[in-house]
Amino acid sequence: MKFAFQFNNLLGSVYRKGNITFTPDGNTVISPVGNRISAFDLKNNKSQTLPVETKVNIVCTALSPDGRLAIVVTEEGEGHLISLVSNSILGTHHFHHTVSQVKFAPDGSKFAVTRDTVVQVFNAPGKTREFNPFVLHRTYPGHVDETTSIDWTSDSRVLCTGSRDRRTRVIAVEKLKNLSVYDLGGLRDSVVGSFFDYNSLDVYCVARDGYVFVWQSDTELNGLKPYDEQEREAESEEEEGEDTSNATTKKRKEKENDVRKDSEFSELTAAAFHKSTHLLVAAFSDGTFYLHEMPDFNMIHSLSISDQRVDSVAINNTGDWIGLACGGLGQLLVWEWQSQSYVLKQQGHSNDTTCVTYSPDGHNIVTGGGDGKVKVWNSFSGFCFVTFPEHSAEITGVKVTQNGKSVVSSSLDGTVRAFDLTRYRNYKTLTSPKPDQFSSVAVDGAGEIVCAGGTSEFMIYVWTMKTGRLLQTLAGHQAPISSLDFSALDGTLASGSWDKTVKLWGIYEHGGVRETIQLNSDVLALSFRPDGREFAVATLNAHITFWDTSSAQQKGAVEGRHDLGYPRKDTDKVSGKTSDAFVFLITFETLCYSADGTCVLAAGKSKNVCIYSVLDQMLVKKFTISCNHSLDGMEEFLDKRKMTAWGSMALVDTGQSEDGTAIALPGVKRGDHSSRFWRPEVRVYSLQFSPTGKSWVACTTEGLLLYSLDQGLVFDPFLLELDVTPASVRAARDRGDHSDALMLAFRLNEQALIQEVLESIPVNSGAMIVESLSDVYVDKLLAFIGHMLEGTAHVEFYLLWLMPLLTSHGPRLKQRSQQVMTSLRTLQRNISRKYDELRKIADHNKYTSEYLLALSQLKRKKRLKEEDDEVRNSEEEEDSSEEELPWKMDDSSEDGMDLT
């Protein structure tokens, strides 16, 4: 098995805090998610989380005008320069104060930062030959309270800053004759946003009380005159104490407008202004936002998106799309105001993600959260496409049936629900005779039997999916059921409990207990190997034991307490390694087998995910899921910098709700059940390996982390010899030995070389080559075609190779189904995805062609009607010409007819 897994994407969480922003092309939304950055491509319908992390959570972001660089600033005031091309951090600068906003100048030469009460302007990296990317241009003091907003003029020479001191300052970044600094007051509350008009010095000030102040300048933007060289030299000779604040540019308050309308009891939380279209968007703490046209202040649209406050607003470059973010719900929306429709509507679990499972083909990922919702995510796009909110309590387990058409979930509300993935509805609800809270759920291979374990009655309930009738109740455990799983071999049900036992049930044999395994500690999790012949059990003493299903004999054990580490909370007075009180808190709480059954993934209340080899019973690799120190439990040792004479600073209850440090209420594990602020604890709730063997997911405090294999960094040759070289492969291909060239390429196992050889072989000779391949090369060709179908455009070419491959070697592949199962599932997933994509394109082309045909018929009818009208008009003209003849013809006429 390959272990080159790398972080690929973050699902289940789309926004936490900070400001969202659009890329310069207007097609992508950049959203901060904890200490990471996620990009949501609205044009290609795909999301991607950058593989860069900061030490703590991100509070503000800014993109350069060319879209190549991004600046992010964390809660501790540490700024990072990130390249969006290479996805790497280029430089770091510590501002030593809280930063509320960062913004690039329109020409990209500078960027401004609101640092506490001052504004600092830096030279943009790449514009000057400086090694340090953060070169300070100048610092502009003047505010007496924290600065909150920045905006630049269209020519990047002047900026305006808003502050909580109810003032807006207009500052000339370049030295100008008729402008230096200008103060704008008169607001009755702190400034949320200050914006320049397009190609003008007019300023719109938006206050927190919902009022908008319009300040008009008597000087045009192009009327600002810079100093020439002689004037600058003359000024440099003057005394340094001369007052330069007497700007000749003057502003007057033009009008004052109230944005609140129906939101009189809420405060304005975010605002954005689009200069070219003069659109002002104001969002409030009650979840409403208003769209006005300035400077006439005509309300265009208003909408309520939730009952939580809107934390950030952004407008794309064309002014058509409005991005809205709510941190309380973890919600991100993109609204197209002209058509009044959603372009993007994504929301993660408002509480922690507690359980996860893959669909049988690995195409979809199903998650359950502490908010009682079941969500289905597309593993390729990273978007949630359906949410089931029927549960009223925390979800404890989710399973997908083998046909991939249904999802079964268990919850602490005492119900097990089945959801249809075709019609997206809850079509069956299963309950117990006595009210019980279900802690786990399992579905057999045929999808006909559903089992759930209770926490209060200590029983296992067995239902049939067809009728929803309770078939039997399995009793025997003396403590809550912690885990259930079915064996794929013979349908054996294994149940683990806190009573230190694992029971194997033959539910098809009228519910008898087939075997009871006594352990030394409480059972927290168990999982069967994909072939069903072995299962692993995780216990409270941080041990993982492996058992044979048929004989119920132990095959091995792993002790992993030292592998998980010894995390400690900030309020702990000693480290976990030196304290006996925390021994039983460092345990494995979830585990799963890899797709080939050779390894086991295990994790728990720690930041580490461990991969163990079942055969060698040793640690193979360890992954650190996060380095975010905004989470609790990240450090293993005491930090003396946080220690004072009376103890740790984390033990001091400051009484603050957002920015300060406070103690969580006793017993509060998930969510904030008090009015005090507390730090969430790092933890892995659930693990699941993909059926294709190419990726695995982890339900963590930060969301759903997706890790996948990096194919480009792995060199894994097969039967490598001295004469197996790329030159020999190409030589065999050139002389027409296609079969030898293909086998040599597989032995070298370089993807680019295999693709080069395979695509150079004529398609009509593919069937003959496939028939002569041995089983080893058939497996490799099958896996390679499945991998290539994921991103190639030559779909028909590879399907023509796949058809004789399955036709010729189908019976032998059936006999070795366990060895090629991952390749077959990869093929199924990629072919179904390609089918969906091509079907959408075909439907679109079909509707487009029908529209064009209908349009041509309308044009033909219109043309025929016009021709008929022309004929009719010509006839009418002839008739009218006859009517215009004189009533009495001349006597000299030939016929001499009297028309009277």
The tens digit of pLDDT for each residue in 563-587 reads 888 777 777 777 666 665 555 567 8
Least confident of 53-67, 294-308, 369-383, 713-727: 713-727
Under DSSP, the state recorded for 788 is H
**How far lies 35's CA from each of 74, 261, 501, 698, 777, in Å?**
8, 37, 41, 17, 44
Split at pLDDT 50, 70, 90, the class of 264 is low
Phi, psi of 681 (to 5 degrees): -95, 135
Amino acid at 47: S
**706 Cβ contact partners less than 8 Å away, ≥ 6 residues apart:** 7, 8, 9, 10, 11, 365, 379, 695, 696, 697
pLDDT of residue 714: 53
Split at pLDDT 50, 70, 90, the class of 97 is confident
Chain centre to alpha carbon of residue 712: 24
Split at pLDDT 50, 70, 90, the class of 590 is very high
Residue 485: pLDDT over 90: yes
Amino acid at 548: D
CB 321 within 8 A of CB 25: no
Q: Report helix, strand or coil for 757.
A: helix
Q: Domain extents for the chain?
A: 396-641+677-705, 712-834
Neighbour tally for 616: CB within 10 Å: 12
- Sequence-ordered alpha helix ranges (H) in 451-598: 561-564
HSE of 545, CA atoms in CB hemisphere, 13 A: 22
**681 Cβ contact partners less than 8 Å away, ≥ 6 residues apart:** 569, 605, 631, 632, 633, 669, 701
- Could you please state the CATH topology (level 3) that the domain comprising 712-834 is classified under: 1.25.40
Residue 36: pLDDT over 50: yes
Give CA–CA dist 602/560, Å, rounded.
9
Least confident of 104-113, 631-640, 679-688: 631-640
Give CA–CA dist 611/619, Å, rounded.
6
Q: Which two tokens stand for residue 201?
A: 């010095």
Burial class of residue 145 (count of CB atoms within 10 Å of its CB; 0-12, 13-18, 19+): middle
Residue 297: pLDDT over 50: yes
pLDDT of residue 240: 38
pLDDT of residue 716: 59
Amino acid at 621: K
pTM of the model: 0.80
Give CA–CA dist 458/474, Å, rounded.
9
**848 Cβ contact partners less than 8 Å away, ≥ 6 residues apart:** none
Q: Which residue in the block uniquely carries the two structure tokens 């060319």?
A: 66
Residue 360: pLDDT over 70: yes
Give CA–CA dist 281/369, Å, rounded.
33
Chain centre to alpha carbon of residue 821: 29
Residue 259: pLDDT over 90: no
Chain centre to alpha carbon of residue 141: 39
Give CA–CA dist 204/208, Å, rounded.
13
Chain centre to alpha carbon of residue 32: 10
Split at pLDDT 50, 70, 90, the class of 233 is very low
pLDDT of residue 273: 94
Strand partners, 408: 399, 418
Give me the chain's average pLDDT, please.
83
CB 607 within 8 A of CB 624: yes
Phi, psi of 383 (to 5 degrees): -100, 150
Give CA–CA dist 482/477, Å, rounded.
11
What dihedral do alpha carbons 400, 401, 405, 407 form, nearest 10°?
-40
Split at pLDDT 50, 70, 90, the class of 660 is very low
pLDDT of residue 898: 40
Residue 889: pLDDT over 50: no
CATH architecture of 396-641+677-705: 7 Propeller (2.130)
Question: Which string of DSSP letters, residue by residue, matches 264-285?
Answer: TTS-EEEEEEETTTTEEEEEET
